[in-house]
Structure 1
Amino acid sequence: MNPARGILYMLVAVGLFSVMAAFIKATAGHVPTGQAVFFRSAIALPVIVAWLWQRGDLATGFRVKNPMGHFWRGLIGTTAMALGFASLGYLPLPEVTAIGFTAPLLTVIFAAMFLGETVRAFRLTAVAIGLAGVMIVLWPRLTIFGGGAATDAAALGVMLVLGSAVFRALAQIHIRKLVQSEETSAIVFYFSLTATGLSLLTLPFGWVIPTGWEMLLLIGAGLLGGIAQIFLTTSYRYAPASTVAPFDYSAILFALVIGYVWFDEVPTPFMLVGAAIIIFAGVLIIWRERQLGLKRSARKTMTPQG
């Protein structure tokens, strides 16, 4: 174990995922969501295969015991990714990132519903605090004042990112079952493969020819996504999940900087206060799960999209 290296790898992964999201956001006005999902997944595949080969895990990465389990994980995760990518066209990057952290809160609830996990007052209170933080972030979007197309677009963005969070939480629950019989390398590989195949189904619905700049951004998103996945997974080889997982919330800091520098997005006080509360609640849940000795091996296979 080397906790410092694990934390560093997590921070690198989160930073790369944040830049990847910015690349997708920069193309959202012209490139359809399904096409963006294709580039994110297909370009990442060679990176993941090379990584598995370097680790000596290529055989286990291709071997499956539960093919339909991988398909359902891929379908749920791809839906989460698509909804998240679509939301980037309607909301500022920091808001999408902050609201997206609803997923770990929902995972606690879904674990009780679908896995029979005992969830007591402490974690339920933390979830309630986190959801209050989400409501604070959303409050300006929920007001009846302002009206107009911009407000309608923002409301759609909120629904998309909340939908993404629900499917990300469901994906995490599904992975917790899948890791009981499948290797992490197989889960990572077949998710990218399934997402690539599913995204191709959107081809008849209006893919476009990207500009040269958009093509570079889409290819870059795929490469960064694949590399970030490797750093994310590797971080758990050097430190326990309870040590590195809180640093996942650094995504909000990265999103604030990128949103301001690239997209001229100035965070509102509601967003800053709500994000702080969400982070506090998330760290409370991670700390409590560590106290309870709950294993979160599913974390290493998760991405911001599912």
Structure 2
Amino acid sequence: MTSRSTVIPFAVCCAGVALFSVMDAAMKGLSLSIGVYNALLWRAVAGTLLGLVLMLVLRQHWPTAVVLRLHLLRGTVVAFMAFAFFWALVRLPLAETIALSFIAPLIALYLAALLLKEKVGRAAIFASLLGLVGVAVILSGRMRGTYDADALAGAGAVLLSAVLFAWNLILQRQQAQVASPVEVAFFQHLVMLGIFALAAPFLAILPPPGALPLVALAAALAFTSLAALAWAYARAEAQRLIPVEYSAFVWAAIIGWLVFGERLAVTTVAGAALIVAACLIAARARPVSSLPNDPPPHIEPGLT
């Protein structure tokens, strides 16, 4: 692929990452207002309705049984991944949460070895160790001075979310080969809605009128950014777009400061730099054919 043919996917990827970062901030505000569960439930409702309209307007075909099972599996994984991520997000600064989530592509290396029988080389093992050092540096900032158990629990939830996101990377690699971006986004929201609806009789509340614009904004941003990234990664090699994904940390730092007044710790910057370096080493160490046809996390990157 020539550099000229990569320009548009590169620009779309940049826009997708930025939109995902704004969505994370919207979801943090919504989670602080009505709780993580209700924020995810009502975003899933809005995203499902938006996806249904697009599926009908674009005349998307209903997936086969095999593809539908893949949608169900990935939607389930993403539901638990998103809950863990946003539960952590209300306990940690936005930039710190994003930085910790960057460990997911390294975890995906070993899941790819387990599930796809890919070989993990020495460079990938070194990258994993470097990434763990980066995580330790970020956590060290939490363990200095006053012991903040709630924040450490949040960090643990991010790492759990990263493990699930790594599995999500493997599933999305398979999914991208058999479904359109609109279909992927619609079924992800639909399956998440089905899972969250199970607890609705016990946990669901109607969001106050003032929260409805934020629900609609979060759903629109999630759907648009997911579709944009799927489109970009279908048209350019993953190794050309991976560095763009880490711009999510810059967006998270800026938005966290502007919206939530969050300060950026030196340990967060240093740890994020180590994790990003580790991910790039791992990506370059593997052949292109073994790279997930997917973005690394800025979570959900769900969501994300």
Counterpart residue number, 1:171:
168
Q: Summarize the alignment of residues 96-135 of structure 1 with structure 2, pairs less than 5 Å apart.
A: 96-135=97-136
The amino acid of 2:97's aligned partner reads V
SS of the counterpart of 1:210?
A: coil
Distance 1:293 1:114, change over 3 A: closer
Distance 1:52 1:288, change over 3 A: farther
Q: Summarize the alignment of residues 179-258 of structure 1 with structure 2, pairs less than 5 Å apart.
A: 182-185=178-181, 186-258=183-255
Q: 1:169-208, CA deviations, whole angstroms, 9 ceiling, x for partnerless residues?
A: 122223345556x324444332221011111122123333
The amino acid of 2:162's aligned partner reads A
The amino acid of 1:155's aligned partner reads L
**Offset, 1:39:** 2.6
Counterpart residue number, 1:39:
42
RMSD (Å), alpha carbons: 2.4
Counterpart residue number, 2:21:
18
Distance 2:48 2:292 in 1: 25
Stretch moving more, 2-11 or 68-77: 68-77
Q: 1:228-287, CA deviations, whole angstroms, 9 ceiling, x for partnerless residues?
A: 112111212442221112201110000000011111111111001111111111222222
Is contact 2:176–2:234 with CA below 8 Å preserved after alignment? no
Counterpart residue number, 1:297:
293
Q: 1:50-85, CA deviations, whole angstroms, 9 ceiling, x for partnerless residues?
A: 55567x5711xx212323332222111110011111
What's the TM-score, normalizing by structure 2? 0.88
**Offset, 1:49:** 4.6
Stretch moving more, 1-10 or 160-169: 1-10
SS of the counterpart of 2:262?
A: coil
**Offset, 1:22:** 0.6
Is contact 1:236–1:300 with CA below 8 Å preserved after alignment? no
Q: 1:151-173, CA deviations, whole angstroms, 9 ceiling, x for partnerless residues?
A: 12102211211111111112222
Distance 1:53 1:280, change over 3 A: farther
The amino acid of 2:198's aligned partner reads L
The amino acid of 1:35's aligned partner reads N
Distance 1:69 1:293, change over 3 A: closer
The amino acid of 1:162's aligned partner reads L
Distance 2:202 2:142 in 1: 30
Stretch moving more, 45-54 or 118-127: 45-54
Is contact 2:16–2:228 with CA below 8 Å preserved after alignment? yes
**Offset, 1:44:** 2.2
Distance 1:177 1:9 in 2: 22
* Sequence identity percentage: 26
Distance 2:257 2:199 in 1: 32
Count of paired positions: 297
**Offset, 1:110:** 1.3
**Offset, 1:136:** 0.8
The amino acid of 1:65's aligned partner reads A
Distance 1:108 1:124 in 2: 9
Distance 1:64 1:300 in 2: 28
**Offset, 1:140:** 2.1
Distance 2:30 2:285 in 1: 40
Stretch moving more, 213-222 or 79-88: 213-222
Distance 1:187 1:29, change over 3 A: closer
Structure 2 spans left out of the alignment, 5+ residues: none
